Amino acid sequence: GAVVSQHPSRVICKSGTSVKIECRSLDFQATTMFWYRQFPKQSLMLMATSNEGSKATYEQGVEKDKFLINHASLTLSTLTVTSAHPEDSSFYICSASNRRTNGYTFGSGTRLTVV
Amino acid sequence: DQQVKQNSPSLSVQEGRISILNCDYTNSMFDYFLWYKKYPAEGPTFLISISSIKDKNEDGRFTVFLNKSAKHLSLHIVPSQPGDSAVYFCAARAQYSSASKIIFGSGTRLSIRP
């Protein structure tokens, strides 16, 4: 079945540094990738939608200069949290659209802790 | 503005009985609905979906019912098993395309007790 590999699964970084999270679709082409953020015991909040080869579309309230999204190929999308602050600590999840199944495949998530 | 609502944050059901998880939505443009199961520190796993042209979809122990006039859908799990204990998210999208974004509800934590 369709698989999305997300790395790293856990990362701890210092305030002010940047962290890159990668999502790869392993056996299908992900023309569209979605990035979500989940706070403890809350819903998955959509941050942005990225289409291969074009700029990402950010949801209202999400800082595009802070959360840089790159979707340079049909199998790879990255989210970079720049100048991380403790309030950026959260669970980040990517989701790739799968045209073959008209569905979505989620990555396993990344737990980011900023200290 | 919460477009997809799951008003019950938690639900406890005895093993073997039916679990019913509810979801309401406000956006009449939604025409495709999905249910996901999620464990802590993992990504959501797709369970079942339903298009707005149907009112019921069944897959094994899982059945989703859609009431468009009430903007309400529910997921039935029968019989409930211990492995069903997880958080269940209802989600919806406005276009029949996987390139369209999906909006999640807040989730319901289902606990199956022996």
pLDDT in tens, A42-78: 889 999 999 888 889 999 999 999 999 998 888 999 9
Could you tell me the pLDDT band of residue B73, with boundaries at 50, 70 and 90?
Answer: very high
Residue B11: both structure tokens together? 């639900």
- Contact residues for B60 (Cβ-Cβ < 8 A; gap 6+): none
pLDDT score of B1? 66
pLDDT score of A39? 85
pLDDT score of B98? 67
Q: Does B104 touch chain A (CB under 8 A)?
A: yes
% of residues, chain A, pLDDT over 70? 99
Give A83-110 pLDDT, tens digit per residue: 999 999 999 999 998 877 778 899 999 9
Q: Does B106 touch chain A (CB under 8 A)?
A: yes
Best A104, A108, A111, A112 member to test B by mutation, with max B CBs in 10 Å, is A104
d(CA B27, CA A81): 31
Q: Are B101 and A49 in contact (CB < 8 Å)?
A: yes
pLDDT score of B96? 62
Per-residue H/E/C for A62-91: CCCCCEEEEEEECCEEEEEECCCCHHHCEE
Q: Does A8 touch chain B (CB under 8 A)?
A: no
Could you tell me the pLDDT band of residue B21, with boundaries at 50, 70 and 90?
Answer: very high
Read off the amino acid at residue B1: D
Nearest one of B44, B42, B55, B41 to B91, comparing CA atoms: B44
Q: Which residue has the higher pLDDT, B2 or A12?
A: A12
CB-defined contacts A:B, below 8 A: 61
d(CA B83, CA B104): 22
Q: Are B97 and A109 in contact (CB < 8 Å)?
A: no
- Look over chain B and give the mean of its residue pLDDT values, rounded to a whole number: 93
Burial of residue B69, with CB atoms counted within 10 A of its CB: 0-12 exposed, 13-18 middle, 19 or more buried: exposed
Spell out which residues of chain A touch residue B103, defining contact as CB-CB under 8 Å: 46
Q: Is residue B77 within 8 Å of residue B19, measured between CB atoms? A: yes
